[in-house]
Amino acid sequence: MTVRWQEHVSLKPYNTFGIDVKARYFVQAHTDADVREALAQAAERDLPVLVIGGGSNLLLTRDVDALVLQMASRGCQVLSDVDGHVVVEAEAGEPWHPFVQWSLGQGLCGLENLSLIPGTVGAAPMQNVGAYGVEIKDVFAGLTALDRQTGELREFDLQACAFGYRDSLFKQNPGRWLILRVRFALSRTLQAHLDYGPVRQRLLEQGVEQPTAQAISDAICSIRREKLPDPAELGNAGSFFKNPVVPAALAEQIRAHYPNVVAYPQADGQVKLAAGWLIEQAGWKGYRDGDAGVHRLQSLVLVNYGQASGAQLHGLAQRIQADIRARFGVELEMEPNLY
Q: What is the DSSP string of 243-298?
A: PPEE-HHHHHHHHHH-TT--EEE-TTS-EEE-HHHHHHHTT-TT-EETTEEE-SS-
The one-letter amino acid code at 33 reads A
CATH at 184? 3.30.465.10
Domain boundary residue among 227, 262, 281? 227
Query: CB-based contacts of 233: which residues, under 8 Å, 6+ apart?
Result: none
Mean pLDDT of the chain: 95
Q: For residues 2 and 314, which has the higher predicted lDDT (pLDDT)?
A: 314
Residue 226 in this model has a pLDDT that exceeds 90: no
Query: Does residue 82 sit in the same domain as residue 221?
Result: yes
Last residue within a domain, chosen from 227, 257, 289: 227
SS3 237: strand
- For residues 196-201, give the mean pLDDT: 86
Domain check: are 115 and 201 in the same one? yes
- Indicate whether 83 and 195 sit together in one domain: yes
Query: Are 34 and 80 contained in the same domain?
Result: no
What is d(CA 85, CA 71) in angstroms, rounded to the nearest whole number?
29
Residue 81 lies in a domain: yes
In sequence order, the 6+-apart residues with CB closer than 8 A to the CB of 311 are: 61, 62
61 and 203 share one domain: no
Q: Which of 190, 205, 227 is the last residue before a domain boundary?
A: 227
Residue 247 lies in a domain: yes
CATH of the domain at 325: 3.90.78.10
Cβ within 8 Å of residue 34, ≥6 positions away: 2, 3, 27, 28
Both 24 and 49 in one domain: the answer is: yes
For residues 99 and 112, give the distance between their C-alpha atoms in angstroms, rounded to a whole number: 11
Confidence at residue 116, expressed as pLDDT on a 0 to 100 scale: 95
What is the average per-residue pLDDT within 25-53?
96
Q: Are residues 239 and 290 in the same domain?
A: yes
How high is the pLDDT of residue 154?
A: 97
Pairing of strands 292-294, 288-289: antiparallel
By the 8 A CB rule, do 225 and 234 touch? no
CA distance 85 to 187: 5
* Pairing relationship of beta strands 153-156 and 177-187 according to DSSP bridges: unpaired
Is 55 in the same domain as 117? no
Residue 101 lies in a domain: yes
User: What percent of the chain has a predicted confidence (pLDDT) above 70?
Assistant: 100
Rounded to 5 degrees, what angle do the CA atoms 309, 11, 303 make? 40
For residue 261, the 8-state DSSP code is -
259 Cβ neighbours under 8 A, 6+ residues apart? none
Q: How confident is the model at residue 1 (pLDDT cuts 50, 70, 90)?
A: low
166, 181, 183, 224: the active-site residue: 166
67 and 82 in a single domain? The answer is no
The pLDDT, as a whole number, for residue 166 is: 87
Q: Is 222 a catalytic residue?
A: no
Q: Is 5 in contact with 41 (CB distance < 8 Å)?
A: yes
Mean pLDDT (whole number) for 299-304: 96
Count Cβ neighbours within 10 Å for each residue of 35-50 and write b for 16 or more, e otherwise.
Answer: bebbbebbeeeeeebb
Asked whether residue 196 falls in the same domain as residue 319, the answer is no
Q: What is the CATH number of the domain that holds 31?
A: 3.30.43.10
Whether the per-residue pLDDT at 197 is higher than 90: the answer is no
Q: Please tell me the distance from the alpha carbon of residue 295 to that of residue 299, in angstroms, as a whole number.
A: 6
d(Cα 92, Cα 210) in Å, to the nearest integer? Answer: 34
Predicted model pTM: 0.89
Number of domains in the chain: 3
Q: What is the chain's Cα-based Rg? A: 20
Q: Rounded mean pLDDT of 85-113?
A: 97
In this structure, of 10-24, 127-141, 225-239, 296-310, the range with the lowest mean pLDDT score is 225-239
> Both 89 and 32 in a single domain?
no
Is the pLDDT confidence value at 196 over 90? no
Q: Is residue 121 part of a domain?
A: yes
- Of 103, 217, 239, 299, the active-site residue reads 239
Helices vs strands, H then E, count in the chain: 10, 20
Pairing of strands 58-59, 337-338: parallel
**CA-to-CA distance for 70 and 26, rounded, in angstroms?**
8
Query: Count of residues for the chain?
Result: 339
In a domain, 1, yes or no: no
Query: For residue 330, is pLDDT > 90?
Result: yes
Residue 240 predicted with pLDDT over 60: yes
Residue 142 lies in a domain: yes
Beta-bridge partner residues of 301: 239
The amino acid at residue 171 is K
Which one of the listed residues 89, 112, 135, 335 is annotated catalytic?
Answer: 335
Whether 18 and 109 map to the same domain: the answer is no
**Position 169 in a domain:** yes
Answer yes or no: 335 catalytic.
yes
Which phi-psi region, left, alpha or beta, contains residue 84 (left: φ > 0; alpha: ψ -120 to 50)?
A: left
Residue 196 lies in a domain: yes
**275 pLDDT tier (thresholds 50, 70, 90):** very high
Tell me which residue range forms the domain holding 282: 235-338
Asked about 325 being catalytic, the answer comes back as no
Query: Residue range 313-335: average pLDDT?
Result: 97
